[in-house]
Structure 1
Amino acid sequence: MVDVSQHELVPEHEVVDEDVLDDVLEEYDIKRTDLPKIKRSDPALPAAAEVGDVIQIVRDSRTTDRAVTYRLVVD
């Protein structure tokens, strides 16, 4: 079977540490549940991701060099 997460077109997905997450949520003045969602069944998620974790997704960007987004893992 093919590991989709290793494909060159799939951006980097990484579980965010709680300390870093607290800083991000405070910076944007939001709660964890305000973040966009990503399903646990998404094949691009790291194996260590669990429901309730927040994932940092880093994409290449023409305008900002790299774009960072955050998603909450849901069931």
Structure 2
Amino acid sequence: MVDVSQHELVPEHTVLDEADVEDVLEDYDIERTDLPKIKRKDPALPDDAEQGDVIKVERDSRTTDVAIVYRLVIE
């Protein structure tokens, strides 16, 4: 079986620790539940991602070298 998360077109997904999550939420003045969602079964997620975790997704961008977005893991 192919590991989709390792494909060159899949952006890097990283589980944030709680201190980093708090910084992101404070920077954007939002609650955790305000973040866009990503399902736990998404094959791009790291194996250690659990429901309630916040994921940092780093995509290549033409206008800014790297575009960073955050997602909340849901069931």
How far apart in 2 are the matches of 1:61 and 1:2?
A: 26
- 1:42 corresponds to which residue? 42
Runs of 4+ in 1 over 3 A off after TM superposition: none
How far apart in 1 are the matches of 2:43 and 2:65?
A: 25
Superposition pairs for residues 11-30 of structure 1, below 5 Å?
11-30=11-30
Unaligned runs of 5+ in 1: none
How far apart in 2 are the matches of 1:49 and 1:33?
A: 16
How far apart in 1 are the matches of 2:12 and 2:29?
A: 25
- What's the CA shift for 1:18? 0.6
Give the root-mean-square deviation of aligned CA atoms: 0.3
- What's the CA shift for 1:43? 0.2
- What's the CA shift for 1:27? 0.6
If the length of structure 2 is used for normalisation, what is the TM-score?
0.99
If the length of structure 1 is used for normalisation, what is the TM-score?
0.99
> How many aligned positions are there?
75
Unaligned runs of 5+ in 2: none
The percentage of aligned residue pairs carrying the same residue is 73
How far apart in 1 are the matches of 2:25 and 2:74?
A: 18
